[in-house]
Structure 1
Amino acid sequence: MPTNFLHIDHPDLLSSIADGNEKAMEILFHAYYPRLKYFCLDLMKDAAEAQDIAQDAIAAFWDRREGFRDATVKAAGTFLFTVARNKCLDHKKHLQVRLAKQDEIAGGQEISEDVLEATIIKEDLFNRIFQEVEGLPPNQVELLKMIFVEGLDTLEIAQKLGITPNNVRNQKARALEKLRAVLLKKRLILPFFYLFMKSL
């Protein structure tokens, strides 16, 4: 089957991945990696660690791909986020132990399961919003990902795109207005502001 026609909702995507089709795996990667990285960043508060853990989760799925031949993409996503969550939890626990041994953890907070559950709920909302973002024009999708996924500010975006900060602000305003109209229809505008107000 030609992989040019595969997309994230294609019924044969996971069976193609199970067969070792790297092009099919790229589709899953591009659909989930930004979300995994955001999810891990929210837990770890460290961009480099979040990136590493997100990549590890993708690699873990690839290693177990044959077991997902007849699964749904949703099941694959659940696996990816479960692996990422567990790796974040393990990393934090190891860090706490190391700091404790060094007597540098006075009053340190334990990892709360409630916090993890809240983060998973936030991730579900993020996924729903992310799907709507993907429906915007490509240039607006790129800009919004720079803002909300990469966490870049106006000047950093201007430098990356080779345009003026004022141009970035104008494009950002247009993209947000278009996204706002879409989210209002889907009743996602309040979750959007809850998740991303700090980035605006």
Structure 2
Amino acid sequence: MVLSKAPQPEEQPPRHEDLLVRVGKHQDRDAFIALFTYFAPRIKSYMLKHGAAEAAAEEVIQNTFVTVWEKAGSYDPKKAAASTWIFTIARNKRIDALRREKFVEVNSDSLELEKATYEAEEVYADKEDVDRLNSALAGLPPDQAELLRMSFFEDKSHQKIAEEKHLPLGTVKSRLRAALEKLRGVMTPAGEKKP
């Protein structure tokens, strides 16, 4: 009679939750590498599907796993699956990156617009200046006067004006700057320094 060994159950790989707990409690590098190896490509795929550029997706992955390493001790497997916890971090890192990009983009254009708006409000402050303003507008080249009217009277964005006039955005901005400079020259009372 031949005795055979009983089949041994296959050893299951550790669950992601267990790996994350090991990273949190013991700063276990092998557990961290296992999490990174599993989740990094999935996070990248998720980011690319949701419109992130490749470089932005890579940055999100890097920032996500720095946070995973630093905050793994706060992970509670009773509250969330490891995948939920890690993807939430990744999502938040992407939102932070988008906010930074938007802040820089909006700030660079809005500073010029705020300055122009402030100058326009300053020009209209006195009732007596209205006549001088109308006269000054009439003295501008028609294309500059039209752009000023669209920007300040119709409250259109530079981008909207560029689209409606079929002009490059840079052309609209430079014409508005030139027009405002001319207005400033005409509207600044004698003896006052121009800003």
TM-score, with structure 2 as normaliser:
0.44
Q: Which has the larger radius of gyration?
A: 2
Point out which structure has higher relative CO (alpha carbons under 8 A, 6+ apart): 1
